[in-house]
Homo-oligomer: A and B are copies of this chain.
Amino acid sequence: MELTQLEYFMTVARLEHMTMASKALGITQPALSHAIAKLENEIGAPLFERNGRNVKLNRNGAMFSRWVGKALQNIENGVKEIENGLIRIRGLLLYPISIFLALT
């Protein structure tokens, strides 16, 4: 299980449509279909209901998406916190002067 898979999963979950999700993600739809199938395989249970025309989260998928949403949010927060803590001067990432002084 990898983060790309999980982002694919969240996009399909939100749009409930493989083709549209694949376009939103910038990959082809077979690739997306395959990735979702692989994820379901790894989890050991299907996450969507297929009725031939569209896809929709089933009970497991709904539960899982809540946790995955939190996980992706946490990672995003972590990255943001680092980005906010640094300042960029002439292409170099440096600590703000205030923090630098506090550390020395």
Contact = CB atoms under 8 A, between A and B. Distances in A.
Interface residues of A, number: 31
Interface string A37-64: 0000001110000000000000110011
A82 B43 contact: yes
Question: Copy number of this protein in the oligomer?
Answer: 2
A102 to B, nearest CB: 11
A3 B6 CA distance: 10
Contacts of A86: 44-45, 60
Nearest to A61: B82
20 contacts: A2-B3, A43-B79, A44-B83, A44-B93, A45-B82, A45-B93, A59-B85, A59-B95, A60-B82, A60-B85, A60-B86, A63-B78, A63-B82, A66-B78, A67-B74, A68-B75, A70-B71, A71-B72, A71-B78, A74-B74
A1 interface: yes
